[in-house]
Structure 1
Amino acid sequence: MLRRTESVVEKLLTNWMSICLYTFLRESAGESFYMLFRAIKHQVDKGPVDAVTGKAKYTLNDNRLLREDVEYRTLGSWKRLNTLQHYKVPDGATVALVPRNVKHHLHDSHDYMLERVKTPMLDDGEEGGVRLWHLVKASEDSELPKHRRGSLRERGGERAKAIPEIYLTRLLSMKGTLQKFVDDLFTAILSTSRPVPLAVKYFFDLLDEQALQHNINDPETIHIWKTNSLPLRFWINILKNPQFIFDVQTSDHVDAVLSVIAQTFMDSCTIADHKLGRDSPINKLLYARDIPRYKQMVERYYADIRQTISASDQEMNSALAELSRNYAAEVNCLVALNELYKYINKYYDQIITALEDDSTAQKMQLGYRLQQIAAAVENKVTDL
């Protein structure tokens, strides 16, 4: 349940959680996440980064590791501004604007076609075009005839397998540098020392009620429901896309590090034990010793939330009303309601029937209220 986004309910849940957790992000978890993002960017930018492949000397992702020793020097934070004196322009000099000497070849469509024919196609490297590289050239394997590529792979197999072991210490060093920031973020997300967001408590209680109503006694199933609804649906999306909540520019090499941390958080929320061996991805081996501790944090988080006092419908409605008052000017409610009504109108009869059969919906008269809305919007015939 809640693994895919095929229905409007799952999409609504994602947006609902995002709105309800905005204050929690701003006041609690946002600072830890921003500090982690800045730490990653600072560490990655300390060393060389390939402008073409995005591979970096300092990273957590072995697929984006710069596996060559490139000489480099730190530029520092000072950059001198050039003035006219640097360009040997004396005081009182006369400056003239000279038009650029540009040859115009495209006089008519015939000449244009000739120019296109004469222009070499340099984009396709396999056809002998130009291939860009920055610090390290890509594998030359694709330039060889097909009958020679297999033998080259066989000869380079041992070397390719040994490279990660040589640079494993660099990955471990990067992990050690970021460890405190990762721990702080996970603690901020999974801590119950301060009040848990009301929306999380309310929705988790709803899942517990649904499990009880359908005679589902397996704790692993309920754990999976909660994991799919909050950590995997909301937090993983935020961890992989910091630009969603911060005014920052992301890059491939920073995204590569964030993806490893997001995968670690995802593994920590699952119940199944991941058996790791020599052939396991290095990204998973890096946090193999930390994941059991993170799993305990997740389990304790779910247990603590379940033991707290339940959130009533009135409390949830009051919290949502306060959100509406605080951010009413920042969203266009009419547009959102119109798009939602388009979906409701498409399945109007089925929704009315479902609301009339549900006991909770009957108490709240949701079917009656939906019929009123339909009548107001498009004068739909009702049995009022």
Structure 2
Amino acid sequence: MGYRTKGKQLGEKATTVTDGSVIALVPKQNSAYNISTSSTFTKSLNRYESMLRTASSPDSLRSRTPMITPDLESGTKLWHLVKNHDHSDQREGDRGSKMVSEIYLTRLLATKGTLQKFVDDLFETIFSTAHRGSALPLAIKYMFDFLDEQADKHCISDLDVRHTWKSNCLPLRFWVNVIKNPQFVFDIHKNSITDACLSVVAQTFMDSCSTSEHKLGKDSPSNKLLYAKDIPNYKNWVERYYSDISRMPVISDQDMSAYLAEQSRLHLSQFNSMSALHEIYSYIVKYKDEILTALERDEQSRRQRLRSKLEQVINTMALAS
């Protein structure tokens, strides 16, 4: 049991420090002073001894981990030569930590209650086909119908699989990223506190899209417990959202093509189409064989001769490079 301070060693032989001893380390002052005449040190020492007497009482609610550390009051820091949980009376320290946790839990619940309406409005807006006059984008309906079509094509009857596909391609792929990073959409600064709060909301959003049951216990993190009672309701919203979309009229390929053409016209000057085509071409080159084989097997692609057209594009690009 030895500690070095500026080259000097504190040990049992040198300073008669025995097991169970408590040391008060006081920051060094600029001018020389006499500890025996220092009123600040005397007051700090008296207060510390008072704390020790209180902590040693078996009926006391205090522990060796005070809620407010003495260094915040007078500059004196309290040090233990062994960890608190190494003491035989570990339960005293656990009780103090539990007291602090309960205080923060109360604040968490109060903050959650303040923000509850805004979180509900966010989830309701996302998982609604016609919320406050805003119609569902055609691309979402078209994409979800495509996923259902692929499930039927491959004889996948498990509804949880279809649910997971849809969750992975829209809520978990797009919305979670927007929720956690609002600076992608708005010209704002996201500090660490805001980031922590948004992470809790994003985690709740992800849990709401999951088909598995979340088993929570007393050791579960507080961010999981905070919305535990709300998640079943949110899950119902997600299931209703997917069900409502599946019952909507099917979007034809012609309507989807017209919609995409209109969107391209509206945003013609905002994007570089050649750059986008180059990114698509890089993907095609990487998976050329798989894409050409898939185009050859698909009946609609064969009618439009997409394989031969793509091969022509690849050959032209190869000559140009």
After TM superposition, the score normalised by the length of structure 2 is: 0.69
Greater mean deviation of Cα atoms: 248-257 or 364-373 = 364-373
Q: 1:298 to 1:68 in 2, by over 3 A?
A: farther
Q: Give distance in 2, aligned partners of 1:276 and 1:347.
A: 43
Q: 1:208 to 1:150 in 2, by over 3 A?
A: same
Who is 1:82 aligned against? none
Q: 1:363 to 1:150 in 2, by over 3 A?
A: farther
Q: 1:258 to 1:165 in 2, by over 3 A?
A: same
Who is 1:90 aligned against? none
1:360 counterpart (293, 300, 308): 300
Is 2:174 aligned against 1:237? no
Who is 1:171 aligned against? 108
Q: Give distance in 2, aligned partners of 1:68 and 1:316.
A: 62
2:157 counterpart (217, 225, 231): 217
Who is 1:181 aligned against? 118
Letter in 2 for 1:180: K
Letter in 2 for 1:310: V
Who is 2:146 aligned against? 206
Q: 1:144 to 1:335 in 2, by over 3 A?
A: farther
Secondary structure of the residue aligned to 1:330 is: coil
Cα deviation for residue 173 of structure 1 reads 0.9
2:202 counterpart (232, 251, 262): 262
Bigger relative contact order, structure 1 or 2, given CA contacts below 8 A and separation 6+? 1
Secondary structure of the residue aligned to 2:175 is: helix
Q: 1:209 to 1:267 in 2, by over 3 A?
A: same
Who is 1:284 aligned against? 224
Letter in 2 for 1:284: K
Who is 2:239 aligned against? 299
The structure whose Rg is larger is 2
Cα deviation for residue 296 of structure 1 reads 0.7
Q: Give distance in 2, aligned partners of 1:275 and 1:347.
A: 41
Letter in 1 for 2:101: P
Q: 1:215 to 1:347 in 2, by over 3 A?
A: closer
Greater mean deviation of Cα atoms: 285-294 or 152-161 = 152-161
Cα deviation for residue 69 of structure 1 reads 7.9
Q: Give distance in 1, aligned partners of 2:199 and 2:93.
A: 28
Letter in 1 for 2:86: S
Q: Give distance in 2, aligned partners of 1:144 and 1:362.
A: 78
Secondary structure of the residue aligned to 2:135 is: coil
Is 2:278 aligned against 1:335? no
Is 2:210 aligned against 1:253? no
Q: Give distance in 1, aligned partners of 2:158 and 2:184.
A: 36
Cα deviation for residue 339 of structure 1 reads 2.8
After TM superposition, the score normalised by the length of structure 1 is: 0.58
2:129 counterpart (188, 192, 198): 192
Q: 1:148 to 1:186 in 2, by over 3 A?
A: closer
Letter in 1 for 2:184: F
Task: Say how many residue pairs are matched.
Answer: 246
Cα deviation for residue 68 of structure 1 reads 6.7
Who is 1:376 aligned against? 316
Secondary structure of the residue aligned to 1:331 is: coil
Who is 2:47 aligned against? none
Cα deviation for residue 379 of structure 1 reads 3.4
Cα deviation for residue 352 of structure 1 reads 1.8
- Superposition pairs for residues 302-321 of structure 1, below 5 Å? 302-321=242-261
Q: Which has the higher strand share?
A: 2
Greater mean deviation of Cα atoms: 224-233 or 278-287 = 278-287
What 5-or-longer segments of structure 2 have no aligned partner? 1-65
Q: Give % identity.
A: 51
Letter in 2 for 1:213: K
Letter in 1 for 2:105: L
Who is 1:58 aligned against? none
Cα deviation for residue 150 of structure 1 reads 6.0
- Superposition pairs for residues 84-123 of structure 1, below 5 Å? none
Letter in 2 for 1:285: L
Who is 2:290 aligned against? 350
Q: Give distance in 2, aligned partners of 1:347 and 1:298.
A: 34
Letter in 1 for 2:128: S
Cα deviation for residue 158 of structure 1 reads 4.0
Q: What RMSD over aligned residues (CA atoms) do the two structures have, in Å? A: 2.9
Q: 1:219 to 1:300 in 2, by over 3 A?
A: same
Please give the per-residue CA displacement for 1:50-88, whole angstroms capped at 9, x wherever unaligned.
xxxxxxxxxxxxxxxxx9789xxxxxxxxxxxxxxxxxx
Q: Give distance in 2, aligned partners of 1:69 and 1:336.
A: 58
Cα deviation for residue 226 of structure 1 reads 0.8
Q: Give distance in 2, aligned partners of 1:69 and 1:212.
A: 63
Do the aligned partners of 2:67 and 2:100 also contact (CA within 8 Å) in 1? Answer: no
Greater mean deviation of Cα atoms: 290-299 or 318-327 = 318-327
